[in-house]
Amino acid sequence: MERNLNSLLKWSIENTVPSQAPAANGANGTNGTNGTTAVTTHSSDTTTPTTPAATAATTPSQTNGTTSAAAASSKLNPEIISALFGGPSEAELMRAAMEVLTDETATPDNRLIAFDNLEQLIESLDNANNLEPLGLWAPLLGLLAHGEADMRRMAAWCVGTAVQNNARTQERLLAEGGVPILVALATREGEDVAVRRKAIFALSSAVRNCQPAMDAAAAELSAHGKGDKVDAGDMDAVDGVIEWLRGKVNGAVAA
């Protein structure tokens, strides 16, 4: 919301019309009685007074340019409008999305739309961090075991987005027991290929620069012959594990 308030402040400043104090009587050729500026034009030997109305005409291009500039500076994005008129916050939108996702009466299309909305929201670091205080980690990880492959795939995608380059959410995923679930999805024979690939993406995001998560993944992978100690800060070593997992998926597809 702080970002929206800053944008709102900027918009208000841009659209504030500065006050103009009236010129002093008689200054700059102003008539002292009615404040009218006398503008004269000279011909050979006559002087014709011209009123401001006659000199105030502007060309269409000038008018259009001014209008366009005003229109451009008055634009507000939907988030700012929501802030102005009491619309839902991003935290409320995250809760609403999860309500749809956990509603067994919701249509598959609506659930996938809710997942897409949630994934876009948690691309923001602040929103990803809010998964914990909002109590959304448990239901999100629960969706990794959903009966529909598309739901498992989208859940893995959201997890991967939430923990990418984010030490706080990496730690939270580990604390919630999410690493073993992701390893199980990534290595499960007969699992939908798209689900396995998104689970690998989530694992890749979860273990990089997070040694406890890397150790937890290695412990789970030991049953598959890949339990060697890996330095979570060594990107080449981490890539080796991830590529090994992808190779298992590609081999299953080829078979």
Largest CA-CA distance found in the chain, in angstroms, rounded: 107
Average pLDDT on 109-130 reads 95
Tokens of 18: 């500065």
Mean pLDDT estimate for the chain: 80
Q: What is the pLDDT of residues 177-189, one digit of tens each?
A: 999 999 999 999 9
pLDDT digits (tens, 9 = 90+) for 144-161: 999 999 999 999 999 999
Residue 212 in tokens:
């406890």
Answer for the pair 22, 35: CB distance below 8 angstroms, yes or no.
Answer: yes
Query: Is pLDDT larger for residue 78 or for residue 249?
Result: 249
Q: Can you give the residue ranges of every domain in the chain?
A: 89-254
Whole-number Cα distances in Å, 51 to 19, 34, 132:
24, 12, 69
What is the pTM (predicted TM-score) of this model?
A: 0.67
Q: Does residue 1 carry a pLDDT above 90? A: no
d(CA 98, CA 110) in angstroms, rounded, equals 11
| pLDDT tens per residue across span 40-82 | 444 444 444 444 444 444 444 444 544 444 444 445 555 565 5
Cβ–Cβ under 8 Å, residues 202 and 180: no
CATH of domain 89-254: 1.25.10.10
